[in-house]
Structure 1
Protein backbone atom coordinates (compact mmCIF):
# COMPACT_ATOMS: atom_id res chain seq x y z
CA UNK A 1 0.00 0.00 0.00
CA UNK A 2 1.44 3.36 -0.99
CA UNK A 3 2.12 5.53 1.98
CA UNK A 4 1.18 9.07 2.89
CA UNK A 5 4.40 9.65 4.71
CA UNK A 6 5.06 13.35 4.25
CA UNK A 7 3.10 16.19 5.82
CA UNK A 8 1.41 18.67 3.52
CA UNK A 9 1.87 22.01 5.24
CA UNK A 10 1.75 24.89 2.79
CA UNK A 11 0.99 22.77 -0.25
CA UNK A 12 -1.39 25.36 -1.67
CA UNK A 13 1.47 27.77 -2.42
CA UNK A 14 4.74 26.41 -3.86
CA UNK A 15 7.78 27.48 -1.83
CA UNK A 16 10.46 29.47 -3.58
CA UNK A 17 11.22 29.89 -7.29
CA UNK A 18 10.70 27.10 -9.77
CA UNK A 19 13.53 24.62 -10.12
CA UNK A 20 14.68 23.43 -13.57
CA UNK A 21 12.31 20.84 -14.97
CA UNK A 22 13.59 17.30 -14.49
CA UNK A 23 13.77 14.75 -17.26
CA UNK A 24 10.56 12.82 -17.87
CA UNK A 25 10.58 9.69 -15.71
CA UNK A 26 9.16 6.29 -16.47
CA UNK A 27 6.39 7.04 -13.98
CA UNK A 28 5.55 10.34 -15.66
CA UNK A 29 5.53 8.72 -19.10
CA UNK A 30 3.12 6.13 -17.78
CA UNK A 31 0.87 8.75 -16.21
CA UNK A 32 0.80 11.21 -19.07
CA UNK A 33 0.54 8.54 -21.76
CA UNK A 34 -1.41 5.57 -20.53
CA UNK A 35 -3.67 7.47 -18.16
CA UNK A 36 -4.60 9.92 -20.85
CA UNK A 37 -5.82 7.04 -22.97
CA UNK A 38 -7.56 4.99 -20.30
CA UNK A 39 -7.99 6.90 -17.04
CA UNK A 40 -11.64 6.16 -16.43
CA UNK A 41 -11.95 2.47 -17.02
CA UNK A 42 -15.22 0.64 -17.45
CA UNK A 43 -17.40 1.71 -14.56
CA UNK A 44 -20.51 0.01 -13.24
CA UNK A 45 -23.57 2.27 -13.54
CA UNK A 46 -21.57 5.34 -14.49
CA UNK A 47 -21.52 5.19 -18.27
CA UNK A 48 -21.74 8.42 -20.32
CA UNK A 49 -25.16 9.99 -20.25
CA UNK A 50 -25.46 9.84 -16.47
CA UNK A 51 -24.05 13.30 -15.84
CA UNK A 52 -20.43 12.19 -15.42
CA UNK A 53 -17.44 13.22 -17.52
CA UNK A 54 -17.28 11.17 -20.70
CA UNK A 55 -14.02 9.24 -20.56
CA UNK A 56 -12.74 6.26 -22.58
CA UNK A 57 -13.58 2.72 -21.52
CA UNK A 58 -10.78 0.27 -20.83
CA UNK A 59 -10.82 -2.75 -23.15
CA UNK A 60 -11.45 -6.20 -21.76
CA UNK A 61 -13.34 -5.25 -18.60
CA UNK A 62 -14.23 -8.86 -17.86
CA UNK A 63 -10.84 -10.26 -18.81
CA UNK A 64 -8.33 -11.28 -16.11
CA UNK A 65 -7.15 -8.19 -14.25
CA UNK A 66 -3.56 -7.04 -14.80
CA UNK A 67 -0.88 -7.30 -12.16
CA UNK A 68 -0.30 -4.40 -9.83
CA UNK A 69 2.30 -1.86 -10.78
CA UNK A 70 5.61 -2.02 -8.96
CA UNK A 71 6.78 1.52 -9.65
CA UNK A 72 7.99 3.88 -6.97
CA UNK A 73 6.87 7.53 -6.88
CA UNK A 74 9.05 9.77 -9.04
CA UNK A 75 9.37 13.20 -7.38
CA UNK A 76 8.86 16.17 -9.68
CA UNK A 77 8.83 19.90 -9.11
CA UNK A 78 5.53 21.72 -9.39
CA UNK A 79 6.19 23.31 -12.84
CA UNK A 80 5.91 19.76 -14.24
CA UNK A 81 2.35 19.56 -12.92
CA UNK A 82 -0.97 21.21 -13.65
CA UNK A 83 -1.92 24.05 -11.34
CA UNK A 84 -5.64 23.83 -10.52
CA UNK A 85 -7.99 25.86 -8.34
CA UNK A 86 -11.07 23.65 -8.58
CA UNK A 87 -12.16 20.04 -8.41
CA UNK A 88 -15.08 19.85 -10.79
CA UNK A 89 -17.25 22.88 -9.95
CA UNK A 90 -15.97 23.07 -6.35
CA UNK A 91 -13.33 25.60 -5.32
CA UNK A 92 -10.20 24.14 -3.77
CA UNK A 93 -9.56 25.50 -0.26
CA UNK A 94 -6.53 24.76 1.91
CA UNK A 95 -7.91 23.45 5.21
CA UNK A 96 -5.17 24.98 7.37
CA UNK A 97 -5.71 28.57 6.23
CA UNK A 98 -9.34 28.36 5.10
CA UNK A 99 -8.36 30.19 1.90
CA UNK A 100 -8.78 29.31 -1.75
CA UNK A 101 -5.50 28.03 -3.15
CA UNK A 102 -3.82 26.39 -6.12
CA UNK A 103 -2.93 22.72 -5.95
CA UNK A 104 -0.60 20.81 -8.25
CA UNK A 105 -1.26 17.37 -9.77
CA UNK A 106 -0.74 15.55 -13.04
CA UNK A 107 -3.41 16.32 -15.61
CA UNK A 108 -4.79 12.74 -15.58
CA UNK A 109 -4.98 12.74 -11.78
CA UNK A 110 -6.87 16.04 -11.92
CA UNK A 111 -9.35 14.52 -14.35
CA UNK A 112 -9.78 11.54 -12.02
CA UNK A 113 -10.62 13.96 -9.18
CA UNK A 114 -13.21 15.70 -11.36
CA UNK A 115 -14.75 12.35 -12.20
CA UNK A 116 -14.89 11.33 -8.54
CA UNK A 117 -16.73 14.50 -7.56
CA UNK A 118 -19.23 14.01 -10.40
CA UNK A 119 -19.77 10.48 -9.10
CA UNK A 120 -20.32 11.85 -5.59
CA UNK A 121 -22.82 14.41 -6.83
CA UNK A 122 -24.78 11.80 -8.77
CA UNK A 123 -24.94 8.98 -6.24
CA UNK A 124 -24.84 10.82 -2.90
CA UNK A 125 -26.73 13.87 -4.09
CA UNK A 126 -24.45 16.54 -2.66
CA UNK A 127 -23.31 19.49 -4.76
CA UNK A 128 -20.33 21.04 -2.93
CA UNK A 129 -19.13 24.46 -3.99
CA UNK A 130 -15.96 24.09 -1.91
CA UNK A 131 -13.61 21.20 -1.25
CA UNK A 132 -11.19 21.56 1.65
CA UNK A 133 -7.90 19.72 1.59
CA UNK A 134 -4.67 19.39 3.54
CA UNK A 135 -2.82 19.39 0.25
CA UNK A 136 -1.74 17.56 -2.87
CA UNK A 137 1.84 17.98 -4.16
CA UNK A 138 4.74 18.18 -1.73
CA UNK A 139 8.40 18.52 -2.61
CA UNK A 140 10.83 15.68 -2.87
CA UNK A 141 9.89 12.46 -1.05
CA UNK A 142 10.40 9.28 -3.08
CA UNK A 143 8.15 7.38 -0.65
CA UNK A 144 5.01 9.45 -1.22
CA UNK A 145 2.78 9.80 -4.27
CA UNK A 146 2.24 13.40 -3.15
CA UNK A 147 5.72 14.14 -4.49
CA UNK A 148 4.77 12.92 -7.99
CA UNK A 149 1.53 14.94 -8.10
CA UNK A 150 -0.65 11.83 -7.92
CA UNK A 151 -2.18 12.11 -4.44
CA UNK A 152 -4.39 14.42 -2.42
CA UNK A 153 -5.70 14.63 1.18
CA UNK A 154 -9.42 15.47 1.38
CA UNK A 155 -10.90 16.90 4.59
CA UNK A 156 -14.35 18.37 3.97
CA UNK A 157 -16.98 18.99 1.29
CA UNK A 158 -18.92 22.22 1.82
CA UNK A 159 -21.70 24.29 0.24
CA UNK A 160 -23.10 27.70 1.16
CA UNK A 161 -20.63 28.05 4.01
CA UNK A 162 -21.49 24.80 5.81
CA UNK A 163 -20.21 21.24 5.83
CA UNK A 164 -21.97 18.68 3.67
CA UNK A 165 -19.55 15.87 4.52
CA UNK A 166 -16.75 16.02 7.06
CA UNK A 167 -13.90 13.54 6.76
CA UNK A 168 -12.44 15.10 9.92
CA UNK A 169 -12.96 12.03 12.12
CA UNK A 170 -10.77 13.74 14.70
CA UNK A 171 -13.44 16.41 15.19
CA UNK A 172 -16.54 14.22 15.60
CA UNK A 173 -15.38 10.79 16.76
CA UNK A 174 -16.71 11.50 20.28
CA UNK A 175 -20.13 12.71 19.09
CA UNK A 176 -23.29 11.33 20.74
CA UNK A 177 -24.30 7.90 19.43
CA UNK A 178 -27.03 9.02 17.02
CA UNK A 179 -24.89 11.77 15.52
CA UNK A 180 -21.89 9.46 15.31
CA UNK A 181 -23.90 6.86 13.38
CA UNK A 182 -25.03 9.51 10.90
CA UNK A 183 -21.53 10.87 10.40
CA UNK A 184 -19.97 7.42 10.04
CA UNK A 185 -22.52 6.39 7.42
CA UNK A 186 -21.85 9.53 5.36
CA UNK A 187 -18.09 9.19 5.84
CA UNK A 188 -18.09 5.64 4.46
CA UNK A 189 -20.49 6.44 1.61
CA UNK A 190 -18.07 9.19 0.59
CA UNK A 191 -15.13 6.81 1.00
CA UNK A 192 -16.93 4.36 -1.32
CA UNK A 193 -16.83 6.94 -4.11
CA UNK A 194 -13.12 7.43 -3.53
CA UNK A 195 -12.52 3.66 -3.54
CA UNK A 196 -14.40 3.51 -6.85
CA UNK A 197 -11.87 5.81 -8.48
CA UNK A 198 -8.58 5.48 -6.59
CA UNK A 199 -6.36 2.48 -5.90
CA UNK A 200 -5.14 3.59 -2.49
CA UNK A 201 -7.59 5.20 -0.07
CA UNK A 202 -6.30 5.72 3.48
CA UNK A 203 -8.83 6.51 6.21
CA UNK A 204 -8.78 6.87 9.99
CA UNK A 205 -8.65 3.07 10.15
CA UNK A 206 -5.21 3.10 8.48
CA UNK A 207 -3.48 5.05 11.25
CA UNK A 208 -3.90 8.05 13.53
CA UNK A 209 -2.28 10.40 11.00
CA UNK A 210 -5.33 9.97 8.77
CA UNK A 211 -7.85 10.95 11.42
CA UNK A 212 -8.31 14.40 9.89
CA UNK A 213 -8.46 13.50 6.18
CA UNK A 214 -8.75 10.73 3.61
CA UNK A 215 -5.66 10.27 1.46
CA UNK A 216 -6.07 8.99 -2.12
CA UNK A 217 -3.54 8.11 -4.82
CA UNK A 218 -3.28 5.93 -7.92
CA UNK A 219 0.09 4.38 -7.15
CA UNK A 220 -1.01 0.75 -7.02
CA UNK A 221 -2.63 0.55 -10.48
CA UNK A 222 -1.70 3.75 -12.31
CA UNK A 223 -4.23 4.27 -15.12
CA UNK A 224 -6.29 1.18 -14.25
CA UNK A 225 -9.50 1.36 -12.22
CA UNK A 226 -9.22 -0.17 -8.73
CA UNK A 227 -10.20 -3.71 -7.80
CA UNK A 228 -10.11 -5.64 -4.55
CA UNK A 229 -6.75 -6.93 -3.38
CA UNK A 230 -7.52 -9.35 -0.57
CA UNK A 231 -4.25 -8.74 1.24
CA UNK A 232 -4.83 -4.96 1.35
CA UNK A 233 -5.75 -4.09 4.93
CA UNK A 234 -6.90 -0.63 3.85
CA UNK A 235 -9.30 -1.96 1.21
CA UNK A 236 -10.67 -4.82 3.31
CA UNK A 237 -11.10 -2.68 6.43
CA UNK A 238 -12.96 -0.09 4.35
CA UNK A 239 -15.30 -2.72 2.89
CA UNK A 240 -15.96 -4.07 6.39
CA UNK A 241 -16.64 -0.55 7.71
CA UNK A 242 -19.09 0.03 4.83
CA UNK A 243 -20.86 -3.22 5.68
CA UNK A 244 -21.23 -2.18 9.33
CA UNK A 245 -21.84 1.58 9.13
CA UNK A 246 -23.75 1.86 5.85
CA UNK A 247 -25.41 -1.53 5.39
CA UNK A 248 -26.04 -2.35 9.06
CA UNK A 249 -24.16 -5.66 8.94
CA UNK A 250 -22.93 -5.57 12.52
CA UNK A 251 -21.88 -9.22 12.24
CA UNK A 252 -18.97 -8.03 10.07
CA UNK A 253 -15.93 -7.23 12.19
CA UNK A 254 -13.34 -4.68 11.03
CA UNK A 255 -10.26 -6.90 11.00
CA UNK A 256 -8.62 -6.36 7.61
CA UNK A 257 -9.10 -10.06 6.88
CA UNK A 258 -11.40 -10.88 3.96
CA UNK A 259 -13.07 -13.69 5.88
CA UNK A 260 -16.17 -15.76 5.17
CA UNK A 261 -18.48 -13.34 7.01
CA UNK A 262 -17.22 -10.41 4.95
CA UNK A 263 -17.47 -12.41 1.74
CA UNK A 264 -21.05 -13.44 2.54
CA UNK A 265 -22.11 -9.90 3.45
CA UNK A 266 -20.62 -8.30 0.32
CA UNK A 267 -22.06 -11.04 -1.92
CA UNK A 268 -25.55 -10.42 -0.51
CA UNK A 269 -25.16 -6.67 -0.95
CA UNK A 270 -24.14 -7.17 -4.57
CA UNK A 271 -27.11 -9.49 -5.15
CA UNK A 272 -29.41 -6.88 -3.65
CA UNK A 273 -27.90 -4.20 -5.91
CA UNK A 274 -28.04 -6.39 -9.02
CA UNK A 275 -24.26 -6.38 -9.28
CA UNK A 276 -22.12 -9.04 -10.93
CA UNK A 277 -20.71 -12.00 -8.97
CA UNK A 278 -18.68 -11.67 -5.80
CA UNK A 279 -16.64 -8.69 -4.68
CA UNK A 280 -13.27 -10.32 -5.33
CA UNK A 281 -14.27 -11.64 -8.76
CA UNK A 282 -13.74 -8.57 -10.91
CA UNK A 283 -13.15 -4.85 -11.13
CA UNK A 284 -16.79 -4.48 -12.20
CA UNK A 285 -18.03 -6.14 -8.99
CA UNK A 286 -15.84 -3.79 -6.93
CA UNK A 287 -17.33 -0.77 -8.70
CA UNK A 288 -20.87 -2.11 -8.32
CA UNK A 289 -20.41 -2.49 -4.57
CA UNK A 290 -19.08 1.06 -4.25
CA UNK A 291 -21.92 2.57 -6.30
CA UNK A 292 -24.52 0.67 -4.26
CA UNK A 293 -22.88 1.87 -1.03
CA UNK A 294 -22.90 5.49 -2.19
CA UNK A 295 -26.59 5.22 -3.04
CA UNK A 296 -27.50 3.69 0.32
CA UNK A 297 -29.06 6.77 1.94
Structure 2
Protein backbone atom coordinates (compact mmCIF):
# COMPACT_ATOMS: atom_id res chain seq x y z
CA UNK A 1 0.00 0.00 0.00
CA UNK A 2 1.51 3.33 -1.04
CA UNK A 3 1.81 6.29 1.30
CA UNK A 4 -0.21 8.58 -0.99
CA UNK A 5 -3.27 6.35 -1.17
CA UNK A 6 -6.23 8.60 -0.36
CA UNK A 7 -8.41 8.15 2.72
CA UNK A 8 -11.48 8.15 0.47
CA UNK A 9 -10.21 5.12 -1.43
CA UNK A 10 -9.47 3.38 1.84
CA UNK A 11 -13.08 3.82 2.94
CA UNK A 12 -14.87 2.95 -0.30
CA UNK A 13 -15.21 -0.75 0.41
CA UNK A 14 -17.82 -2.05 2.82
CA UNK A 15 -17.07 -3.37 6.24
CA UNK A 16 -17.91 -7.02 5.49
CA UNK A 17 -15.23 -9.68 5.27
CA UNK A 18 -13.00 -11.75 7.46
CA UNK A 19 -9.96 -10.05 8.90
CA UNK A 20 -6.51 -11.52 9.15
CA UNK A 21 -4.41 -11.73 12.28
CA UNK A 22 -2.03 -8.85 12.83
CA UNK A 23 1.22 -9.30 14.67
CA UNK A 24 1.41 -7.70 18.13
CA UNK A 25 2.51 -4.08 18.13
CA UNK A 26 2.26 -3.54 14.38
CA UNK A 27 1.68 0.18 13.86
CA UNK A 28 -1.26 1.25 11.72
CA UNK A 29 0.41 4.56 10.89
CA UNK A 30 3.31 2.73 9.25
CA UNK A 31 0.87 1.15 6.78
CA UNK A 32 -1.59 4.02 6.32
CA UNK A 33 -0.02 7.40 7.18
CA UNK A 34 -3.24 9.35 6.60
CA UNK A 35 -4.86 7.40 9.45
CA UNK A 36 -2.12 8.22 11.97
CA UNK A 37 -4.49 10.22 14.25
CA UNK A 38 -6.35 6.99 15.11
CA UNK A 39 -5.15 5.54 18.40
CA UNK A 40 -4.35 1.85 17.99
CA UNK A 41 -3.75 -0.68 20.74
CA UNK A 42 -2.70 -4.33 20.64
CA UNK A 43 -4.34 -6.77 23.05
CA UNK A 44 -4.61 -10.53 23.60
CA UNK A 45 -7.52 -10.08 26.00
CA UNK A 46 -10.77 -8.12 26.01
CA UNK A 47 -11.00 -5.71 28.90
CA UNK A 48 -9.65 -8.16 31.45
CA UNK A 49 -7.00 -10.87 31.29
CA UNK A 50 -9.76 -13.22 32.41
CA UNK A 51 -11.17 -12.97 28.88
CA UNK A 52 -8.49 -14.10 26.46
CA UNK A 53 -8.48 -13.52 22.70
CA UNK A 54 -7.71 -16.50 20.49
CA UNK A 55 -7.13 -16.82 16.76
CA UNK A 56 -9.89 -19.12 15.52
CA UNK A 57 -7.93 -21.03 12.83
CA UNK A 58 -5.17 -22.04 15.29
CA UNK A 59 -7.13 -21.79 18.56
CA UNK A 60 -4.07 -20.16 20.14
CA UNK A 61 -3.91 -17.02 22.27
CA UNK A 62 -3.15 -14.13 19.92
CA UNK A 63 -2.85 -10.36 19.98
CA UNK A 64 -5.11 -8.25 17.78
CA UNK A 65 -4.86 -4.54 17.01
CA UNK A 66 -7.87 -2.28 17.56
CA UNK A 67 -8.84 1.34 17.39
CA UNK A 68 -8.90 2.18 21.11
CA UNK A 69 -12.46 3.55 21.10
CA UNK A 70 -13.76 0.45 19.33
CA UNK A 71 -11.87 -1.80 21.76
CA UNK A 72 -13.50 -0.06 24.71
CA UNK A 73 -16.91 -0.48 23.08
CA UNK A 74 -16.23 -4.18 22.60
CA UNK A 75 -15.35 -4.41 26.27
CA UNK A 76 -18.70 -2.86 27.19
CA UNK A 77 -20.38 -5.49 24.99
CA UNK A 78 -18.39 -8.23 26.77
CA UNK A 79 -19.60 -7.01 30.16
CA UNK A 80 -23.14 -6.94 28.76
CA UNK A 81 -22.76 -10.56 27.62
CA UNK A 82 -21.45 -11.47 31.06
CA UNK A 83 -24.35 -9.77 32.85
CA UNK A 84 -27.07 -11.30 30.67
CA UNK A 85 -25.88 -14.91 30.50
CA UNK A 86 -27.16 -17.52 32.98
CA UNK A 87 -25.30 -17.29 36.28
CA UNK A 88 -24.28 -20.94 36.05
CA UNK A 89 -22.38 -20.25 32.84
CA UNK A 90 -19.69 -18.27 34.64
CA UNK A 91 -17.99 -15.60 32.52
CA UNK A 92 -16.80 -15.14 28.90
CA UNK A 93 -13.32 -16.60 29.34
CA UNK A 94 -12.30 -17.01 25.71
CA UNK A 95 -13.27 -15.22 22.52
CA UNK A 96 -12.10 -16.77 19.26
CA UNK A 97 -11.69 -14.42 16.32
CA UNK A 98 -10.47 -14.16 12.74
CA UNK A 99 -9.16 -10.68 13.45
CA UNK A 100 -9.73 -6.97 14.02
CA UNK A 101 -7.31 -4.63 12.19
CA UNK A 102 -5.99 -5.86 8.90
CA UNK A 103 -4.33 -4.04 6.01
CA UNK A 104 -7.39 -3.57 3.81
CA UNK A 105 -9.99 -0.89 3.06
CA UNK A 106 -13.06 -0.41 5.22
CA UNK A 107 -13.55 -0.68 8.96
CA UNK A 108 -11.03 -3.49 9.34
CA UNK A 109 -8.43 -1.14 7.90
CA UNK A 110 -9.18 1.31 10.72
CA UNK A 111 -9.16 -1.33 13.45
CA UNK A 112 -12.89 -0.73 13.95
CA UNK A 113 -14.21 -4.17 13.05
CA UNK A 114 -14.07 -7.57 14.70
CA UNK A 115 -14.80 -11.05 13.31
CA UNK A 116 -15.90 -13.49 15.98
CA UNK A 117 -15.89 -17.28 15.66
CA UNK A 118 -17.06 -18.36 19.10
CA UNK A 119 -17.37 -17.39 22.74
CA UNK A 120 -16.51 -19.85 25.50
CA UNK A 121 -17.92 -19.31 28.98
CA UNK A 122 -16.32 -21.04 31.96
CA UNK A 123 -17.76 -21.36 35.44
CA UNK A 124 -15.81 -21.87 38.66
CA UNK A 125 -15.73 -25.61 38.02
CA UNK A 126 -14.29 -25.12 34.56
CA UNK A 127 -17.43 -26.35 32.77
CA UNK A 128 -17.66 -24.69 29.33
CA UNK A 129 -20.69 -23.25 27.56
CA UNK A 130 -20.13 -22.35 23.92
CA UNK A 131 -21.74 -19.83 21.60
CA UNK A 132 -20.55 -20.69 18.12
CA UNK A 133 -20.72 -18.48 15.04
CA UNK A 134 -19.34 -21.35 12.96
CA UNK A 135 -22.49 -21.98 10.93
CA UNK A 136 -20.29 -23.84 8.47
CA UNK A 137 -19.57 -26.45 11.16
CA UNK A 138 -22.90 -26.89 12.95
CA UNK A 139 -25.56 -26.19 10.31
CA UNK A 140 -26.17 -29.90 9.70
CA UNK A 141 -25.30 -31.18 13.17
CA UNK A 142 -27.65 -32.85 15.62
CA UNK A 143 -27.25 -29.84 17.93
CA UNK A 144 -28.10 -27.29 15.23
CA UNK A 145 -31.23 -26.08 17.06
CA UNK A 146 -29.22 -25.16 20.17
CA UNK A 147 -26.52 -23.48 18.14
CA UNK A 148 -29.12 -21.56 16.10
CA UNK A 149 -30.88 -20.30 19.21
CA UNK A 150 -27.65 -19.09 20.83
CA UNK A 151 -26.37 -17.67 17.54
CA UNK A 152 -29.36 -15.43 16.89
CA UNK A 153 -29.63 -14.48 20.55
CA UNK A 154 -26.02 -13.30 20.46
CA UNK A 155 -26.54 -11.49 17.16
CA UNK A 156 -29.41 -9.58 18.76
CA UNK A 157 -27.25 -8.75 21.78
CA UNK A 158 -24.45 -7.58 19.49
CA UNK A 159 -26.93 -5.41 17.57
CA UNK A 160 -27.85 -3.72 20.85
CA UNK A 161 -24.29 -2.33 20.92
CA UNK A 162 -23.30 -2.03 17.25
CA UNK A 163 -25.14 -1.08 14.08
CA UNK A 164 -23.29 -3.31 11.63
CA UNK A 165 -23.60 -6.97 12.55
CA UNK A 166 -23.24 -9.35 9.62
CA UNK A 167 -24.43 -12.96 9.92
CA UNK A 168 -24.41 -16.08 7.79
CA UNK A 169 -27.64 -14.87 6.16
CA UNK A 170 -25.84 -11.89 4.63
CA UNK A 171 -23.52 -13.99 2.46
CA UNK A 172 -21.42 -17.16 2.42
CA UNK A 173 -18.35 -15.17 3.49
CA UNK A 174 -19.91 -14.99 6.95
CA UNK A 175 -20.64 -18.68 7.35
CA UNK A 176 -17.65 -19.07 9.69
CA UNK A 177 -17.86 -15.83 11.70
CA UNK A 178 -20.02 -12.90 12.72
CA UNK A 179 -18.76 -9.44 11.76
CA UNK A 180 -19.29 -6.31 13.84
CA UNK A 181 -18.09 -2.71 13.41
CA UNK A 182 -18.88 0.77 14.70
CA UNK A 183 -19.11 2.66 11.43
CA UNK A 184 -22.59 3.97 12.31
CA UNK A 185 -22.89 3.47 16.06
CA UNK A 186 -21.06 1.64 18.78
CA UNK A 187 -21.35 1.63 22.53
CA UNK A 188 -25.09 1.13 22.76
CA UNK A 189 -26.82 4.04 20.99
CA UNK A 190 -28.95 1.48 19.19
CA UNK A 191 -31.44 2.23 16.42
CA UNK A 192 -33.37 0.05 13.98
CA UNK A 193 -33.58 0.78 10.26
CA UNK A 194 -36.32 -1.01 8.30
CA UNK A 195 -34.17 -0.58 5.18
CA UNK A 196 -31.25 -2.58 6.61
CA UNK A 197 -31.39 -6.21 5.49
CA UNK A 198 -28.65 -7.12 7.98
CA UNK A 199 -30.66 -5.82 10.93
CA UNK A 200 -33.86 -7.37 9.59
CA UNK A 201 -32.17 -10.78 9.29
CA UNK A 202 -31.30 -10.59 12.99
CA UNK A 203 -34.79 -9.51 14.06
CA UNK A 204 -36.29 -12.30 11.95
CA UNK A 205 -33.74 -14.85 13.16
CA UNK A 206 -34.48 -13.95 16.78
CA UNK A 207 -38.25 -14.16 16.23
CA UNK A 208 -37.94 -17.57 14.58
CA UNK A 209 -35.12 -19.35 16.42
CA UNK A 210 -35.29 -17.69 19.83
CA UNK A 211 -39.00 -16.93 20.25
CA UNK A 212 -40.35 -19.88 18.26
CA UNK A 213 -42.45 -17.89 15.79
CA UNK A 214 -42.89 -18.82 12.15
CA UNK A 215 -41.10 -15.73 10.86
CA UNK A 216 -39.43 -16.06 7.47
CA UNK A 217 -35.78 -15.03 7.47
CA UNK A 218 -35.45 -13.22 4.16
CA UNK A 219 -34.04 -9.81 5.10
CA UNK A 220 -37.15 -7.94 3.94
CA UNK A 221 -39.29 -5.78 6.20
CA UNK A 222 -42.99 -6.48 5.90
CA UNK A 223 -46.23 -7.17 7.82
CA UNK A 224 -45.07 -10.57 9.10
CA UNK A 225 -41.80 -9.29 10.56
CA UNK A 226 -43.49 -6.21 11.98
CA UNK A 227 -46.27 -8.29 13.54
CA UNK A 228 -43.99 -10.97 14.98
CA UNK A 229 -41.49 -8.50 16.43
CA UNK A 230 -44.38 -6.56 17.99
CA UNK A 231 -45.72 -9.80 19.48
CA UNK A 232 -42.31 -10.32 21.12
CA UNK A 233 -42.41 -6.78 22.51
CA UNK A 234 -45.80 -7.39 24.09
CA UNK A 235 -44.59 -10.68 25.54
CA UNK A 236 -41.67 -9.00 27.27
CA UNK A 237 -43.89 -6.28 28.70
CA UNK A 238 -43.52 -3.39 26.26
CA UNK A 239 -47.08 -1.96 26.28
CA UNK A 240 -47.09 -0.04 23.00
CA UNK A 241 -45.20 0.87 19.88
CA UNK A 242 -43.11 -1.20 17.48
CA UNK A 243 -39.49 -2.20 17.14
CA UNK A 244 -38.80 1.02 15.23
CA UNK A 245 -38.80 2.83 18.60
CA UNK A 246 -35.24 2.96 19.97
CA UNK A 247 -36.41 1.95 23.47
CA UNK A 248 -38.41 -0.98 22.11
CA UNK A 249 -35.56 -2.03 19.85
CA UNK A 250 -33.03 -2.17 22.69
CA UNK A 251 -35.55 -4.05 24.85
CA UNK A 252 -36.11 -6.56 22.03
CA UNK A 253 -32.36 -7.13 21.61
CA UNK A 254 -31.66 -7.70 25.30
CA UNK A 255 -34.72 -9.89 25.87
CA UNK A 256 -33.79 -12.00 22.82
CA UNK A 257 -30.27 -12.47 24.20
CA UNK A 258 -31.57 -13.49 27.63
CA UNK A 259 -34.25 -15.78 26.22
CA UNK A 260 -31.90 -17.45 23.75
CA UNK A 261 -29.19 -18.15 26.33
CA UNK A 262 -31.73 -19.44 28.84
CA UNK A 263 -31.32 -16.62 31.35
CA UNK A 264 -34.99 -15.62 31.41
CA UNK A 265 -38.07 -17.47 30.13
CA UNK A 266 -40.47 -14.54 29.70
Given the two structures, how large is their TM-score scaled by the length of structure 1? 0.73
Distance 2:213 2:16 in 1: 33
Distance 1:246 1:104 in 2: 33
Contact kept, 8 Å, 2:44 with 2:53, in 1: the verdict is yes
Between Structure 1 and Structure 2, the one with more strand by share is 2
Contact kept, 8 Å, 1:230 with 1:280, in 2: the verdict is no
Structure 1 residue 87: deviation in Å?
Answer: 1.4
Return the match for 1:91 from 52, 55, 59. Answer: 52
Distance 2:99 2:31 in 1: 23
What secondary structure does 2:79 align onto?
helix
Aligned residues: CA RMSD: 2.5
Partner of 2:255: 292
Contact kept, 8 Å, 2:56 with 2:117, in 1: the verdict is yes
What secondary structure does 2:183 align onto?
coil
Structure 1 residue 216: deviation in Å?
Answer: 0.1
Contact kept, 8 Å, 1:275 with 1:289, in 2: the verdict is no
Give the direction of change, closer, same or farther, for the CA distance of 1:23–1:235 in structure 2 (3 Å limit). same
Contact kept, 8 Å, 2:233 with 2:252, in 1: the verdict is yes
Partner of 2:22: 11
Partner of 2:40: 81
Structure 1 residue 146: deviation in Å?
Answer: 0.6
CA deviation map 1:129-179 (0-9, x unaligned): 1110000001141xx211111100011112348552111111100112xx2
Partner of 2:246: 283
The alignment status of 1:150 with 2:109, answered yes or no, reads no
Partner of 2:159: 195
Structure 1 residue 83: deviation in Å?
Answer: 1.5
Partner of 2:141: 175
Structure 1 residue runs of 5 or longer lacking an equivalent are 29-75
Distance 2:217 2:247 in 1: 23
Contact kept, 8 Å, 2:53 with 2:95, in 1: the verdict is yes
Partner of 2:173: 209
Give the direction of change, closer, same or farther, for the CA distance of 1:265–1:18 in structure 2 (3 Å limit). closer
Given the two structures, how large is their TM-score scaled by the length of structure 2? 0.81
What secondary structure does 2:179 align onto?
strand
CA deviation map 1:264-294 (0-9, x unaligned): 1111211221236434432221110001101
What secondary structure does 1:112 align onto?
helix
Distance 2:147 2:34 in 1: 45
Matched pairs, number: 239
Partner of 2:5: none
Distance 1:136 1:97 in 2: 16
Query: Once superposed, which parts of structure 1, at least 4 consecutive aligned residues long, lie more than 6 Å away?
Result: 14-18
Contact kept, 8 Å, 2:28 with 2:40, in 1: the verdict is no
Give the direction of change, closer, same or farther, for the CA distance of 1:133–1:214 in structure 2 (3 Å limit). same
Partner of 2:8: none
